[in-house]
Amino acid sequence: MKTILITGGSGLVGSAIRNISLDYCHDYNFIFLSSNDCDLTNYTNTFSTFSTFNPDYVIHLAACVGGLFKNMAYKVDMFEKNIIINTNVLKVCHEIKVKKVISCLSTCIFPDKTTYPIDETMLHNGPPHTSNDAYAYAKRMLEVQSRAYQEQYNDNFICVIPTNIYGPYDNFNLQDSHVIPALIHKCYLAKQNNEQFVIAGSGNPLRQFIYSEDLAKLILWTLENYYQLDPIILSVPESDEKSIHYVASCIAKEFNYCDNMSFDKEKPDGQFKKTANNTKLAQFLPNFQFTPIEKGISTTIAWFIKNYDSCRK
């Protein structure tokens, strides 16, 4: 039986992989590594931990992440911590001869000024949006590092590029989380306190959102079936792009709080759109069924309410 080690194993996507891992348990032994198990910013700790498990494959999800405001306020942290984590993980995977490494990027790394939809070939065609440039450049370097290991050592180190991920086990912190979990927590508190559900910005920006278990299935498909060395975008189709206004309305509807929404247009919107082309994925999996965002949000809110006392927030 082959071993898959997942960094960031207690996070949003790692937890989603754990939830579906029983469907693969006859083929793989899964090791879910959290920050409590290994400090990936420490090379010696990383080497010791990885050597102990001696994985055949590594799915590298761990990162220093946050939403728009964390990306803007803590640029040094977002850049340096991610550079160190990624360097340690890839270096150790090379040294212990891991057969395949799949590293997770983000569509925020694509150029700010570009044509849409963006595809895998456009990754380095210009600077990212200034609101998240430090994080984006660190993630871009993960693709550069992976390609360098391919070219110098023939290592099978590849990258996947998901669009905005959401689902159970997310970080629901009001300041540091991504848009859907932040809005869910904010709406929950607004209803609890009988206050306005205020959404920062105009609500006009557009995003493609992918449910975490859909992404987990696609990452494991990539591990088993994707043999190219170039990155691949893992995303819902362009037609499933939604505005922040629509997402907030779906959340408010689940809380039965639609009449108490407002938008603070004095707050920044960030990048207006970053529409990704999933044609490459669709060529391999033309019939993949993505979870509709309305269903995904409903499931995520139910999980959040049930686990409110213990979830990250």
Q: Would you state the pLDDT for residue 261?
A: 94
pLDDT band at 67 (very low <50, low <70, confident <90, very high): low
Residue 294 lies in a domain: no
Cis previous bond, 117, omega within 30: yes
Q: Which of 28, 135, 149, 188 is catalytic?
A: 135
Residue 106 lies in a domain: yes
Q: Would you state the pLDDT for residue 286?
A: 95
135 catalytic, yes or no?
A: yes
Q: Would you state the pLDDT for residue 249?
A: 97
Residue 260 lies in a domain: no
Residue 76 lies in a domain: yes
Q: Would you state the pLDDT for residue 25?
A: 74
Mean pLDDT of 18-45: 92
Query: Would you say residue 49 has pLDDT above 90?
Result: yes
CATH of the domain at 214: 3.40.50.720
Residue 179 lies in a domain: no
Q: Would you state the pLDDT for residue 32?
A: 97
Residue 105 lies in a domain: yes
pTM > 0.75: yes or no? yes
Query: Would you say residue 71 has pLDDT above 70?
Result: no
Residue 309 lies in a domain: no
Domain count, the chain: 1
**CA atoms in the 13 A half-sphere facing the CB of 312:** 18
Q: Kindly report, residue by residue over 165-203, the tens digit of the pLDDT.
A: 999 999 999 887 889 999 999 999 999 999 999 999 999
Residue 256 lies in a domain: no
Q: Kindly report, residue by residue over 86-119, the tens digit of the pLDDT.
A: 999 999 999 999 999 999 998 888 998 888 999 9
Mean pLDDT of 28-39: 94
Domain that holds residue 139: 2-166+209-238
pLDDT band at 148 (very low <50, low <70, confident <90, very high): very high
Q: Is the Cβ–Cβ distance between 283 and 215 less than 8 Å?
A: no
Q: Would you state the pLDDT for residue 68?
A: 66
